[in-house]
Amino acid sequence: FVTISSTLATQMPQAVGSAYAYKRAQNGLCVVCYFGEGAASEGDAHAALNFSATLEVPVLFFW
């Protein structure tokens, strides 16, 4: 018997980190991060949204 488990919202902090690197490099790129309603209820999502607003990074969260 094998169960499948995947983590939710872990891509969001990584997207913020990538966007921060783009901001520091001043290359004009933007990160787009797709997530669903399951991810929106996770703590990582809230942390990523807060972190992206605080750092003012070029990231677009698409729900």
Q: Is the pLDDT assigned to residue 4 strictly greater than 80?
A: no
Q: Mean pLDDT across the chain, nearest whole number?
A: 92
Q: Would you say how long the chain is, in residues? A: 63
Angle between helices 43-55 and 11-25 (to 10 degrees): 10
Residue whose C-alpha is closest to residue 61's, from 53, 43, 49: 49
Q: What pLDDT, on a 0 to 100 scale, did the predictor assign at position 5?
A: 60
User: Given the structure tokens 């399951």, which residue do they identify?
Assistant: 38
Q: Is the pLDDT assigned to residue 54 strictly greater than 80?
A: yes
pLDDT-based confidence at residue 43 (cuts at 50, 70, 90): very high
Radius of gyration of the chain (CA): 13
| Range with lowest mean pLDDT among 6-10, 19-23, 45-49 | 6-10
Q: Is the pLDDT assigned to residue 49 strictly greater than 70?
A: yes
CA end-to-end span of the chain, whole Å?
Answer: 33
